[in-house]
Structure 1
Amino acid sequence: MPAIALFGTSADPPTLGHRALLEGLLTLYPEVATWASDNPLKHHAAPLPMRAALLEALVAAIGNPRLCHRQELSSPWTIETLERAARRWPQHELVFVVGSDLAPQIPRWKAADAILRRCRLAIAPRRGWPLTTEQQQALRELGATLELLPLEIPATASSAVRRCPDPAQVPPELRPLLLQHNLYGFTG
C-alpha cells in the first residue's frame, strides 16, 4: 500500500522551515499533501483563507507534482482531517507529519488514541525542539506507530516572524503576497 504524507500547518506565515519540511518529505514519500488549518491551541494572526493562499503559493513555488495543496482536509480536529484523507485516498497508508515542537501536545488532542490508531505518526525534528524519550514513550503508549524522520528542519518559527518580521525567514516567493495584503508587519 503506498504511503501519503499528510502535513497540516497553521502556516501563520509559512517559513523556510515549512519549505524544508515539504521538500524533505518529498524525498521520503511518494506523495505529500499539505493544508493550512486552525489549531485550537493557537491564536492565529491571519485568517485561514489568507494562510491557505500563502501555503498554496509555497506549494506552487516548490513545483513538484507529487506535492499537493488540499485545503479540503483542513479541520481544527486531526481526527476529522484523517477521516477526510481516508476517504480521499482509500488505498493509501496515511502518515501524519508533525514537527517535534508539537509532539508533547498530541496526548492532549481530541481523540488522540483514535488518531494514533488511524495513521502512522511521523515526527520531523526541529532545531531547538528536541523530542525526548519520555515524549516518544507517551505517544507509543497511546498506540502510535512512530517514525522519526531523518530530516534537518531549521529553527525558524512562524511565531518569531510574527513578533519580528524577518524576510530572511520567509520563502521569497511569499513576500509579494505578504506585502500586498500588509501581513505580519512586512513593508516594502
Structure 2
Amino acid sequence: MTDTSPNPGFPTPDVPNPNPQRTPARIGAQTHLARRRSARGNYHDVMRIGIMGGTFDPIHNGHLVAASEVAWVYDLDKVIFVPTGRPVFKLDRNVTNAEDRYLMTVIATASNPNFVVSRVDIDRPGVTYTIDTLRDMRTLYPDAELFFITGADVIPQLMRWKDAEEMWGIAHFVGVSRPGYEVNLHKAGVPLRSVDVIEIPALAISSTDVRRRAEAGEPVWYLVPDGVVQYISKHGLYRRPPASKEG
C-alpha cells in the first residue's frame, strides 16, 4: 500500500532497504516483524495466526493472494478464513446464503495446507461484528499471536467499530490494498503500533465485479479459483432472475 503517512509499514531512514525490488510497505512490515521477534525472543514458541474475515461473496483470487502475501510477510503458521454470517455493514444488500459462501471458501482454500476455514461467524446467531470473531479466536487460540487481515479501505472506519479499543489488545491489524490506494493512519486515528498497511497487486479483483459478470453471463475464469467457478455455475449463483411472462 502506498501510504504517505508515517506508518509502521514504511522503512525508517536508519533501516536500509535490503532488496530494492520489494515495495517500501513490504520491507517496513518485515522490519517491524524483525523488531517484534527480537523483543519476544524465541518467536517459534508462539503460534502466529492470520484471521481473514470477509463476506466472500464470492471469494476470489485476490483474497487468496492477499492471505498468502500476508502469511509470508508476517511469517504466519496459518491463515483462518472466516466467512461472515450477517455482515453488519451489508444489511441493506442481498447477501448470498452463508452456507454457499462457506462452501465456496472451503473449495477455494483446499489446495493450500496453511489455509483453514472457520464457521464461527456463520454459526453464531445475529449480526456479525469483528470483535465477536476476535473474541472467539482468542478463546480458541489463547496463546497465539493473532493478525486480523482486512481491506485497507476500512481502516479509516476502525475506530467506529464495536468495542474498537478491545480489538487492539486481541490482534494486530493488517490492511491490504490495491496499488495506488493511500491510507493515512494518523488521520484515521488508529494506534500505529497495532495497524500495518501493505500493497497487494492482485486486489484489483473485486467480489462486486465477479457477481456482476456472473449475473450477466460473462466468464469469471481466473478471477476466482476453478472450483468456485464450477460451484457458481452448478448452483446458479448470481444469475439474474428470469423475466416474468405476461399474458
Q: Which TM class, normalised by the smaller chain length?
A: 0.7 to 0.9
The alignment status of 1:108 with 2:160, answered yes or no, reads yes
Q: Which runs of 5+ in 2 are unaligned?
A: 1-45, 241-247
Partners of 1:139 and 1:15 in 2: how far apart?
A: 30
Contact 1:121/1:144 (CA < 8 Å) preserved in 2? no
Contact 2:173/2:194 (CA < 8 Å) preserved in 1? yes
1:150–1:101 Cα change, 3 Å: closer
Is the partner of 2:88 in helix, strand or coil?
coil
> How do residues 51-62 of structure 1 correspond to structure 2 at under 5 angstroms?
51-60=101-110
Identity %: 23
| Structure 1 residue corresponding to 2:182, chosen from 110, 126, 131 | 131
Partners of 2:171 and 2:189 in 1: how far apart?
A: 13
How far off its partner does 1:20 sit? 1.3
Contact 2:66/2:203 (CA < 8 Å) preserved in 1? no
Describe the superposition over 1:108-155 as per-residue Cα deviations: whole angstroms up to 9, x where unpaired: 211122212321111112246x2322x4542425x7611223543331
**Aligned-partner residue type, residue 118 of structure 2:** R
Q: Paired residue for 2:230?
A: 176
The alignment status of 1:94 with 2:146, answered yes or no, reads yes
> How do residues 74-93 of structure 1 correspond to structure 2 at under 5 angstroms?
74=122, 76-93=128-145
Deviates more, 1:147-156 or 1:87-96: 147-156
Number of aligned residue pairs: give it: 181
Partners of 2:239 and 2:48 in 1: how far apart?
A: 39
Partners of 1:113 and 1:149 in 2: how far apart?
A: 22
Partners of 1:124 and 1:136 in 2: how far apart?
A: 17
Partners of 2:103 and 2:56 in 1: how far apart?
A: 10
| Structure 2 residue corresponding to 1:159, chosen from 204, 208, 214 | 208
Q: Paired residue for 2:115?
A: 67
Q: Which runs of 5+ in 1 are unaligned?
A: none
Partners of 1:103 and 1:32 in 2: how far apart?
A: 20
How far off its partner does 1:67 sit? 1.4
Partners of 2:109 and 2:143 in 1: how far apart?
A: 24
Deviates more, 1:165-174 or 1:115-124: 165-174
Q: Paired residue for 1:35?
A: 82
Q: Paired residue for 2:5?
A: none
- TM-score, structure 2 normalization: 0.66
Partners of 2:88 and 2:225 in 1: how far apart?
A: 26
Select the structure of larger CA radius of gyration: 2
- TM-score, structure 1 normalization: 0.85
Query: RMSD over aligned Cα, in angstroms?
Result: 2.2
Q: Paired residue for 2:239?
A: 185
Is the partner of 1:164 in helix, strand or coil?
helix
Partners of 1:33 and 1:85 in 2: how far apart?
A: 10
Is the partner of 1:46 in helix, strand or coil?
coil
Contact 2:50/2:79 (CA < 8 Å) preserved in 1? yes
Partners of 2:138 and 2:77 in 1: how far apart?
A: 16
The alignment status of 1:147 with 2:199, answered yes or no, reads no
